[in-house]
């Protein structure tokens, strides 16, 4: 943090700033220019923010130069992280690989989930997604099967060999979900549910953190910091579209989030093109854009009969659209020097 004094600030005003910083346990370094004096601060930025330095006599402005998210920042961890998922540790999400995560948006029945899981595996997916708990905008919409859904996902993992990522919505359910899943998902609506973030930060399972509908990059990374601060650094960030003025699509996919967040943080970035646009015909083009932007993985919905889906059927892939995605996942990441585990669908 840097304190920029006003032109002509008196020496005792500069000394007062230094004294207040030192009283808070920090260090201050004075740089005197021809017209302005700058005081550089070293120490706890959060503590400095509470000192109300801007209101002190002679102070022009206070500029924060270090990131408030320390554990997930590139400043303190310059090398990109690779997150390992699954009991066998055979899925790696990071800068050298590309991972396809696919499955049903919601676990509806055992048969539907098994069919979607098999479709995902055959398309080249190496992780299975599926919602046992579904926080929905409408209280009358399908909310998921809960514990029974978790049990079905665990069975689907045995059937396909794919590690499972599923959402947790309540701190009280974290332990139970962690017993059934290989990765815990924090959904868009819960990105700033701080007790939930702290709860998943206390378990030894990787976490997929979706960006909030109106969240800035800093707010997203601060949410990740809540998880990391509790000791869990196995975090993957997921861009799934933000709310804008455009009404032609459900949300606007922020492709620039991929390189921008890679520059700010060492954490991997996943893109969810299914939940951004909400339209099947847009999923593959958006997935291609995400791959080209450097996404470490994409996550899509698949369903054998989308017209009968209880949740988000219009965006679920099947048939030729799923074949097209599988082909894109086979070709594009390789052009960018990434390895793609799994086999593409014939």
| Integer Cα distance of 242 and 213 in angstroms | 5
Contact 17, 61 (CB under 8 A): no
Six token digits for residue 196: 């939930």
What CATH topology corresponds to 2-63? Answer: Alpha-Beta Plaits (3.30.70)
Alpha carbon 80 to chain centroid, angstroms: 15
**Given this model, what pLDDT does residue 286 score?**
98
**pTM for this structure?**
0.85
Alpha carbon 225 to chain centroid, angstroms: 11
For 83-335, the fitting CATH number among 3.20.20.70, 3.40.50.300, 2.40.37.20, 3.40.50.2000 is 3.20.20.70
Spatial CB neighbours of 322, under 8 Å, sequence gap ≥ 6: 119, 123, 302, 345
Task: Kindly give the interhelix angle for 319-335 and 280-293, rounded to the nearest 10 degrees.
Answer: 10
**Given this model, what pLDDT does residue 34 score?**
64
Contact 342, 127 (CB under 8 A): no
Q: Write the DSSP assignment of 102-150 as a string of letters.
A: EE-SB---HHHHHHHHHHHHHTT-SEEE-BSS---SSTTS----THHHH
**With a cut of 70, which residues of the chain have pLDDT below it?**
33-34, 342-346
> According to CATH, where is 3.20.20.70 located in the chain?
83-335
**Given this model, what pLDDT does residue 40 score?**
85
**Given this model, what pLDDT does residue 342 score?**
47
Q: Report angle CA 222, 227, 231 to the nearest 5 degrees.
A: 130
Spatial CB neighbours of 102, under 8 Å, sequence gap ≥ 6: 119, 120, 123, 125, 127, 128, 129, 299, 300, 301, 302, 317
Strands (E) located in 206-335? 207-210, 235-239, 269-271, 297-301
> According to CATH, where is 3.30.70.1140 located in the chain?
2-63
Contact 227, 235 (CB under 8 A): yes
**Given this model, what pLDDT does residue 340 score?**
85
Six token digits for residue 51: 């000192």
Q: How far is CA 137 from CA 150, 189, 194, 247, 311, in A?
A: 22, 9, 20, 17, 12
């Amino acid at each position: 943090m840097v304190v920029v004094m006003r032109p002509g600030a008196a020496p005792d005003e500069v000394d007062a700033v230094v004294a207040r910083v030192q009283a808070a346990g920090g260090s201050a370094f004075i740089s005197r220019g021809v017209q302005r004096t700058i005081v550089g601060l070293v120490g706890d930025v959060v503590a400095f923010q509470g000192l109300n330095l801007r209101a002190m006599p002679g102070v022009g402005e206070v500029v924060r130069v270090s990131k408030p998210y320390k554990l997930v920042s590139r400043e303190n961890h310059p090398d990109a992280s690779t997150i390992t998922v699954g009991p066998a540790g055979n899925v790696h999400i990071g800068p050298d690989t590309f991972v396809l995560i696919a499955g049903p948006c919601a676990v509806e029945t055992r048969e539907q989930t098994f069919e979607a899981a098999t479709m995902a595996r055959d398309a080249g997916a190496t992780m299975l997604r599926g919602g046992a708990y579904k926080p929905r905008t409408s209280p009358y919409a399908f909310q998921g099967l809960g514990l029974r859904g978790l049990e079905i996902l665990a069975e689907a993992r045995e059937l396909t060999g794919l590690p499972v990522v599923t959402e947790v919505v309540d701190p009280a359910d974290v332990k139970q979900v962690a017993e059934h899943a290989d990765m815990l998902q924090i959904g868009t609506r819960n990105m700033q549910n701080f007790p939930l973030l702290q709860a998943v930060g206390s378990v030894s399972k990787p976490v997929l953190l979706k960006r909030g509908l109106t969240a800035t990059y800093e707010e997203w990374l601060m949410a990740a910091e809540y998880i990391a601060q509790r000791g869990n650094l196995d975090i993957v960030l997921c861009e799934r579209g933000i709310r804008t003025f455009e009404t032609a699509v459900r949300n606007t996919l922020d492709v620039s989030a991929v390189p921008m967040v890679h520059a700010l943080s060492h954490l991997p970035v996943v893109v969810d093109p299914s939940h951004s646009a909400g339209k099947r015909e847009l999923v593959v083009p958006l997935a291609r854009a995400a791959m080209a932007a450097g996404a470490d993985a994409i996550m899509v919905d698949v369903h054998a009969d989308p017209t009968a889906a209880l949740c988000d059927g219009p965006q679920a892939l099947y048939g030729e659209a799923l074949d097209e995605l599988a082909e894109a996942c086979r070709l594009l990441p390789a052009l960018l020097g990434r390895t793609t585990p799994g086999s593409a669908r014939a």
